[in-house]
């Protein structure tokens, strides 16, 4: 992962002249040289870790698995939000850990957490580092140092039950690696979020990730059958069998706990037969509301595609510019996986096409769907290019009931436009629906504007306005990005003051010293 | 509800001579006169409720809504487990409350809980009283009295969102009433557990109920989108939108909390278009294992019926005797709901029939499926007749992965047979699968034996053996009956000692005085 941006530096995007012109004309973005500082020039906080503690941690994991050098600290200093990247690019890494610890077993994780609790050292669990909501921005104050616990050595498929369709993985397994291991045996998880190429399974569970194929395969939290969690107070092993009435479902406290209650070290997941073939179709609807109605009908009555997305007019227009297509209307992408022994993919796609046509859609050229599928993990590269060109680009998201979807989209868009316009940087706000449920859907906003002098502060103001609008409009503060440090001020409005007290009580029991990701999740 | 047994006294069953003969020949059950004592002769514990507290509670709910008379206490004294009924029939009601409180609003519930916390009075939430695991058997010791909080005045449909397919109900609404209210508008919850005719919605949520149509409509915990909960420490309002990543899902702490954390007063549920027609088919498979394989294929690959059940050889044989049918093999019931605007019921049933036939099933006469559907809520009446005839009859249940299903069925059956045979009452043990998932299924055991001199102790020994076998065999201690007082000793083996500590921490935060259903759920 590029330390100052996204992914593979070899895949960096150069903005085409048409886009640069559009940025200048529509948003007033002036050509800029936004090259990041060299990594060696990044300013790190002075380490507060007692060398004796470092020695103790090295005993648990072995000296080669404790890193304190500059580059390791920079590479674990931040997630991948736009604010994170803007700070890194300018050479700031205020949240960098003093050391990176790489345990290789569950027991090593337990040992590290116990030692850190005794020594009052803050611990940031790290499972890919792709958070876009400050999930790694732990508070240092009051601790005797801060270390990152990277799970990347806890990898591999532990077992596969082909009759029950379950697989047990170590939690540091890369999503890509998990798909390779399963694919070799004819199975898939079906979990492909934007972070797919860099995220690790435990992170998906800790943040309630949702992938692009959630219509077909579900959210990640729905895939988790069992979990093993290391906490400073010992180990939790949760989940027996396919369903249970044995009291509250404690797995659901670990899912979404964002490293604040413990470190997930192993997880058992539902798997599916790998598709033999996938088909992606593009459709055009007259308006966002018409497209939303079509998606709702598929989500409630079927047939439900594996992937189902709707872009609003603005996003459809930009997509048309990027791909040299005719603009107009609202783009729907419907993807279908053909499963061995199930209905063939062509029959599935035909049934979906009938439903989309009946709902008023016009089928587009085959290339439209295929282009989406080919570029499905590329948006973060485009952001890096925009940041380098003097723009800011960031996203925010929510979910709500179908009956509230269009109204919430409008109020959040208005809040973003109003907030950024008031800063003399009127934005382009695009929106899409990428996750559908019988009762509602997600809304995902992408915002591009001219960067102000302090772009971090500029976006913080806009994000506050958007989140206030989400709460006021009845949406959830996050559908799949998680809480992190960024949404934490709004969590009480989501779950109420007594809900916050419940979280605090659970944290106090599992992490009495409060060392785990302090300042993230729990208000 | 009949105070000493199940349901409507007018529907009481008389055992046919063939069954009495079978009981005598197969199990040694001698004809007995097991008529319950008259209700007036039931022995109640002396009330420990301070009259001043009763007066205070009456202020919150109004004097007509505080009942302290003999019959009200008896009727709230126990759930509907066989042990509960055996005790009631013999005139014992050791767990009877001192008073029954009937709040009419959420705020009245909050007021009652606050007063009881201050006065250290134990509170048993009551939402139909159909628990079969001692869910109402709260501990009296150490409290200044014990009151039952019956939610039966908190009824009605608050709102219906026909676009999002959600309905908000007050939690004391009877399931039957909820179906009537929704049915009038063309919708259904699709939740039909054995307790359907007497249970209330809040109880389904508090116990993670699963209904007979769970294959089609899901478990009750999957239907719950939002909850309002009154606790001694205030109100929880949880659930925004169709899905969220806003931290741990605290609804999942309330689901399954069995009245130990608070009282659910309102809930928002997913609804479905009401079926226009339902079809039930009977199938015969050669063995339980063959039938289980067929169910697994439907659960994993589809088409999935709305109702899907498999009886083992013993249950199929008894069913044949009861209905005068030819015995042999293992009975499968497959039910299909035809949804307006969706695939027609006949097409669904035909697709299901193709799959069941391909899996080796033989289709039975139409009457077999229809007979099941007609008698689907009648089993508890049969139990009352068996208890009166000198037998004991009780059930226990679990769930496990498909790859473990047959082995677990065999080990639990062996434990039951061994335990009861050692008491000189060799049992008939029947088993069925009534809930299927992609990764596994439930196992439901029905046990009939000659009643020993102390039938409560007799069953307690057998139940201990069965639950030990379930835990040792990798099953969950309960798939849908809940924990109650009965499974509480095994909860630590399900969720581990640290899981128990998490439950205790949550309870301590929401119910610091420990007044809510003490002795139920939390070890």
Chain A residue numbers with beta carbons less than 8 Å from the beta carbon of B225 are 439
Is A159 part of the contact surface with chain B (CB cutoff 8 Å)?
no
Out of B163, B498, B502, whose CB is closest to A402?
A: B163
Query: Is the omega angle on the peptide bond into residue B303 within 30 degrees of 0, that is, cis?
Result: yes
Interface of B with A in 1-30 (CB under 8 A): none
Nearest to B212 by CA among B404, B376, B395, B440: B376
Domain A34-150 has CATH 3.20.20.410: no
Interface of B with A in 405-424 (CB under 8 A): none
pLDDT of residue B326: 87
Give the DSSP letter string of A8-44. Answer: -GGG-----HHHHHHHHHHH-PPP---PPPPGGG-B-
A169 labelled binding-site residue:
no
Phi/psi of residue B273, nearest 5 degrees: -60, 135
Chain A residue numbers with beta carbons less than 8 Å from the beta carbon of B203 are none
Read off the pLDDT band of A31 (50, 70, 90). confident
Task: Return the CATH fold of B157-273.
Answer: 3.30.465
Shortest distance between the Cα of A353 and any Cα of chain B, in A, equals 16
Which residues have a Cβ under 8 Å from the Cβ of B56 and sit 6 or more positions away? Answer: B115, B119
Write the CA distances from A171 to A21, A58, A225, B348, B380, integer angstroms. 45, 21, 13, 40, 46
> Please, what's the b/e burial string for B168-182 (b: 16 or more CB within 10 A of its CB; e: otherwise)?
bbbbbbbbebbbebb
The pair of three-digit structure tokens given for residue B69, joined into one six-digit string: 């008379």
Whether the per-residue pLDDT at A18 is higher than 90: the answer is no
Q: Residues of B forming the annotated binding site?
A: 125-131, 258-264, 383
For CATH 3.30.43.10, the residue range(s) in chain A are 34-150
CB contact under 8 A, B483 and A247: yes
Consecutive 10-residue averages of pLDDT for chain B (523 residues): 95 90 93 90 97 96 98 98 97 97 98 98 98 96 97 98 98 98 98 97 98 97 98 97 97 98 98 94 98 97 94 95 90 91 84 96 95 92 95 98 98 98 98 98 98 97 98 98 98 98 98 98 97
The pair of three-digit structure tokens given for residue A294, joined into one six-digit string: 């079509």
Shortest distance between the Cα of B75 and any Cα of chain A, in A, equals 25
CB contact under 8 A, B257 and A242: no
CB contact under 8 A, B165 and A439: yes
CB contact under 8 A, B401 and A164: yes
Chain B residue numbers with beta carbons less than 8 Å from the beta carbon of A168 are none
Q: What is the rounded CA–CA span in Å between residue A416 and residue A427?
A: 8
pLDDT of residue A144: 96
Residue B198 DSSP symbol: T
The CATH architecture one would assign to domain B277-374 is 2-Layer Sandwich (3.30)
Burial class (CB in 10 A: 0-12, 13-18, 19+), B31: exposed
- When pLDDT is averaged across residues A95-102 and rounded to a whole number, the result is 98
Phi/psi of residue B454, nearest 5 degrees: -115, 85
Helix, strand or coil for residue B147?
strand
Closest-CA residue of chain A to B474: A240
Chain A residue numbers with beta carbons less than 8 Å from the beta carbon of B242 are 399-401, 437-441
A130 labelled binding-site residue:
yes
Burial class (CB in 10 A: 0-12, 13-18, 19+), A88: buried
Is B482 part of the contact surface with chain A (CB cutoff 8 Å)?
yes
Is B400 part of the contact surface with chain A (CB cutoff 8 Å)?
yes
CB contact under 8 A, A502 and B498: no
pLDDT tens digits, one per residue of B441-468? 999 999 999 999 999 999 999 999 999 9
Which residues have a Cβ under 8 Å from the Cβ of A338 and sit 6 or more positions away? Answer: A275, A276, A277, A278, A279, A344, A345, A346, A348
Domain B29-150 has CATH 3.30.43.10: yes
Chain B residue numbers with beta carbons less than 8 Å from the beta carbon of A238 are 495-496, 499
Is A243 part of the contact surface with chain B (CB cutoff 8 Å)?
yes
pLDDT tens digits, one per residue of A32-68? 878 999 999 999 999 999 999 999 999 999 999 999 9
CB contact under 8 A, A502 and B253: yes
Shortest distance between the Cα of B88 and any Cα of chain A, in A, equals 26
Q: What is the rounded CA–CA span in Å between residue B310 and residue B300?
A: 16
Shortest distance between the Cα of A75 and any Cα of chain B, in A, equals 25
Shortest distance between the Cα of B340 and any Cα of chain A, in A, equals 9
Q: Residues of B forming the annotated binding site for FAD?
A: 125-131, 258-264
Q: Are A49 and A87 in contact (CB under 8 A)?
A: no
Chain B residue numbers with beta carbons less than 8 Å from the beta carbon of A166 are 401, 439
Is B237 part of the contact surface with chain A (CB cutoff 8 Å)?
yes
CB contact under 8 A, A510 and B503: no
Best of B210, B244, B441 to substitute, by most chain A Cβ atoms within 10 angstroms, is: B244
Q: Note the pTM of the prediction, 2 decimals.
A: 0.97
Which residues have a Cβ under 8 Å from the Cβ of A37 and sit 6 or more positions away? Answer: A89, A90, A91
pLDDT of residue A19: 87
Chain B residue numbers with beta carbons less than 8 Å from the beta carbon of A480 are 245
Q: What is the rounded CA–CA span in Å between residue A469 and residue A465?
A: 6
Phi/psi of residue B332, nearest 5 degrees: -115, 135
For CATH 3.30.70.3450, the residue range(s) in chain A are 277-374
Out of B166, B208, B495, whose CB is closest to A250?
A: B495
The pair of three-digit structure tokens given for residue A437, joined into one six-digit string: 């449920």
For CATH 3.30.465.10, the residue range(s) in chain B are 157-273
Q: What is the rounded CA–CA span in Å between residue B17 and residue B35?
A: 18
3-state secondary structure B22-90: HHHHHHCCCCCCCCCCCHHHCECCCCCCCHHHHHHHHHHHCHHHEECCHHHHHHCCCCCCHHHHHHHHC
Is B241 part of the contact surface with chain A (CB cutoff 8 Å)?
yes
The pair of three-digit structure tokens given for residue B390, joined into one six-digit string: 């000198």
Best of A161, A162, A242 to substitute, by most chain B Cβ atoms within 10 angstroms, is: A242
Domain A160-273: assigned CATH number = 3.30.465.10
Closest-CA residue of chain A to B303: A342
Q: Are A74 and A44 in contact (CB under 8 A)?
A: yes
pLDDT tens digits, one per residue of A234-263? 999 999 999 999 999 999 999 999 999 999
Q: What is the rounded CA–CA span in Å between residue B113 and residue B423?
A: 44
The pair of three-digit structure tokens given for residue B521, joined into one six-digit string: 């759920």
Closest-CA residue of chain B to A253: B248
Nearest to A421 by CA among A465, A467, A472: A465
Residue A208 DSSP symbol: T
Residue A145 DSSP symbol: -
Best of B189, B206, B241, B339 to substitute, by most chain A Cβ atoms within 10 angstroms, is: B241
State the CB neighbour count (10 A cutoff) for residue A185.
12
Is A293 part of the contact surface with chain B (CB cutoff 8 Å)?
no
Out of B241, B494, B497, whose CB is closest to A246?
A: B494
Is B189 part of the contact surface with chain A (CB cutoff 8 Å)?
no
Q: What is the rounded CA–CA span in Å between residue A446 and residue A442?
A: 13
Q: What is the rounded CA–CA span in Å between residue A84 and residue A257?
A: 21
pLDDT tens digits, one per residue of A179-219? 999 999 999 999 999 999 999 999 999 999 999 999 999 99
Out of A480, A494, A505, whose CB is closest to B505?
A: A505
State the CB neighbour count (10 A cutoff) for residue A46.
5
Q: Which residues of A are part of the catalytic machinery?
A: 444
Q: Facing residues of A123 across strands? A: A147, A516
Out of A257, A399, A509, whose CB is closest to B243?
A: A399
């Amino acid at each position: 992962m590029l330390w100052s941006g996204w992914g593979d530096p070899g895949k960096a995007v150069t903005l085409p002249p048409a886009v640069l012109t559009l940025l200048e004309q529509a948003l007033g973005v002036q050509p800029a040289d936004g090259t990041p500082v060299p990594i060696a020039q990044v300013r790190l906080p002075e380490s507060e870790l007692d060398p004796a503690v470092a020695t103790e941690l090295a005993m648990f994991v072995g000296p080669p698995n404790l890193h304190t050098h500059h580059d390791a600290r920079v590479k674990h200093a931040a997630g991948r939000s736009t604010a994170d990247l803007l700070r890194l690019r300018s050479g700031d890494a205020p949240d960098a850990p003093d050391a990176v610890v790489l345990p290789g077993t569950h027991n090593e994780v337990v040992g590290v957490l116990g030692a850190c609790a005794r020594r009052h050292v803050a611990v940031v669990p790290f499972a890919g580092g792709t958070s876009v909501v400050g999930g790694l921005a732990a508070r240092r104050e009051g601790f005797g140092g801060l270390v990152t616990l990277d799970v990347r050595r806890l990898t591999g498929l532990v077992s596969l039950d082909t009759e029950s369709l379950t697989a047990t993985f170590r939690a540091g397994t890369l999503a890509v690696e998990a798909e390779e291991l399963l694919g070799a045996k004819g199975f898939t998880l079906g979990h492909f979020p934007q972070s797919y190429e860099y995220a690790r399974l435990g992170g998906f569970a800790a943040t309630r990730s949702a992938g692009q194929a959630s219509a077909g395969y579900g959210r990640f939290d729905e895939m988790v059958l069992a979990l093993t969690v290391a906490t400073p107070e010992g180990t939790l092993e949760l989940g027996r069998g396919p369903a249970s009435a044995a009291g509250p479902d404690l797995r659901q406290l670990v899912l979404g706990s964002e490293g604040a209650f413990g470190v997930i070290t192993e997880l058992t997941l539902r798997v599916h037969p790998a598709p033999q073939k996938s088909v992606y179709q593009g459709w055009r609807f007259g308006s966002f509301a018409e497209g939303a109605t079509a998606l709702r009908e598929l989500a409630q009555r079927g047939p439900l595609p594996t992937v189902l997305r709707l872009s609003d007019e603005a996003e459809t227009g930009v997509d048309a510019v990027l791909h040299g297509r005719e603009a107009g209307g609202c783009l729907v992408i419907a993807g279908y996986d053909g499963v061995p022994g199930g209905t063939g993919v062509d029959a599935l796609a035909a049934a979906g096409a009938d439903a989309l046509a009946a709902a008023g859609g016009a089928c587009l050229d085959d290339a439209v769907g295929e282009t989406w599928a080919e570029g499905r993990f590329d948006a973060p590269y485009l952001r890096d290019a925009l940041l380098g060109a003097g723009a800011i680009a960031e996203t925010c998201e929510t979910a709500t009931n179908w009956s509230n979807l269009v109204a919430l989209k409008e109020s959040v868009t208005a809040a973003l436009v109003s907030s950024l316009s008031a800063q003399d940087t009127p934005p382009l706000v695009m929106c899409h629906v990428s996750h559908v449920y019988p009762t509602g859907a997600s809304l995902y906003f992408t915002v591009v504007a001219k960067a102000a002098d302090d772009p971090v502060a500029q976006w913080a103001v806009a994000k506050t306005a958007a989140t206030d609008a989400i709460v006021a409009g009845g949406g959830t503060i996050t559908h799949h990005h998680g809480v992190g440090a960024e949404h934490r001020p709004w969590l009480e409005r989501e779950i109420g003051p007594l809900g916050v007290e419940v979280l605090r009580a659970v944290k106090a029991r599992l992490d009495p010293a409060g060392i785990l990701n302090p300042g993230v999740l729990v208000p």
